[in-house]
Amino acid sequence: MFVGYGISAPEFAYNDYQALNVEGKIVVFLSGEPASADPSYFDGALPTLHSFPEIKQKIALARGAAGSIMIPALQSGPGGDWRYWQQEFAFEDVSLFYFVAGNLSVVMNPQAAQRLFNDAPYSLQQIFEMEATKSLRSFQLPVLATFRGSFQQRDFLAANVIGMLEGSDSELKNSYVVISAHYDHLGVGPAIKADSIYNGVFDNAAGVAAVLEMAKVFAAMPEKPKRSLIFLFTTGEEKGLLGSTYYVENPVAPLYKTIANVNVDGLAMFDTFNDIVGVGAELSTLDGLLQQLACELDLSVSAIPAPFASSPAFARSDQIAFAKAGIPALLIMEGSNYRNTPREAGLRRLIEWGRRIYHTPFDDLAQPINMKAAQQHGQILFAFCCMLANVEAAPQWKKGVPYFNARMQSIAEKR
């Protein structure tokens, strides 16, 4: 069954499965989501969670589908090259031991996928033309598909690492701030220029180092912060936020007592800067605290730079696991108003780093790292965490934010 983008989004009155029974069938869908210039419809030019392949797979599974086949649009931009998709799935698939077994999920090269539309009402080429004119429709495919694969499965342990510093206030020490950083990376993968070790210095050994340094400084303070601090080093972030997901399902402190999560995924490495970006801060009252800190440090708070706003950054690292559990969370990054580099040149450098270094073996110690920039970023993170640990009023989600209900549920459970 061809099901358009494979999306069910009631908030946008959109459903590719409308009046379809896909139980026992393999559903076929395109990558992406409906194009829009209206910010109120699929967030306009910015992608939403509905575009994530794993979300589409879950929808198909929930509707009883036997499997799913995604056909990527091989055009310009990220994901526009078949080699990109091969690289994405070149590493070992890892899941939590209590995850339910998955079903058949395939990414198929459009050249091969044309055969799925043999004798169908429309060819794949016509489907792409419909997509361009925003006239996609779902329909039956008169094709049978079989699959046979060879798999190796192994069980292994990968631990989160946790430390806690008790707060100094007799009451507030019973509330917690979680400072997290993922210590895993991709491991060993396809060799690039004879190098197959994907080191992950920026992503995320640098973030781990920053959290370790913060823990060291907090522990040495003669007067400890009022609230207790949890230093959490997660595993399996690159494999689907596994460590953070496990933590919120098995927390060392009750979720309702955890007032916030500050996630550290990378540090500034190019240049010192005059502005910061709070990824996800706008969803809660954490944005007011961030604005206050920026003012104290003579910095400004900026939005995610336009070249990177096309990626839903809040959902791409461990902070989203805490948010889904109802805990206000954010990721603090450096801005693009650099002190020694013109903004456009700095953005080009960052884009080039993402193209050539990110998630490759070359994110290693051979690359240039501006230690003053990393130090500045670390000091900002420390100051913000210190502010959170001492503030009287706990951060709250803003009205209409989807994570609010999870917060209310965790608070209700304490009773």
Cα 198 to Cα 92, 141, 184, 301: the distances in Å are 13, 41, 10, 33
Question: Domains in the chain, please, with CATH?
Answer: 8-132 (no CATH), 161-413 (3.40.630.10)
pTM score: 0.87
Quick: pLDDT tens for 373-388.
999 999 999 999 999 9
Amino acid identity at 252 = V
Predicted confidence at residue 118, as pLDDT, reads 93
Distance of CA 393 to the CA centre of its chain: 28
| The pLDDT of residue 3 | 97
Contact 235, 200 (CB under 8 A): no
Measure Cα distances from 409 to 198, 247, 252, 255, 256 in Å. Answer: 40, 17, 18, 10, 9
pLDDT number for residue 77: 45
pLDDT, residue 75, reads 58
C-alpha to C-alpha distance for 193 and 355, rounded to whole angstroms: 15
Per-residue pLDDT, 52: 87
Give the percent of the chain with pLDDT over 70.
97
CB 246 within 8 A of CB 160: yes
Residue numbers in the chain where pLDDT is lower than 50: 76-79
pLDDT at 306: 77
**Which residue has tokens 């209900």?**
405
Question: What are 254's two structure tokens?
Answer: 């009750």
CB 384 within 8 A of CB 289: yes
For residues 48 and 110, what is the distance between their CA atoms, to the nearest angstrom? 23
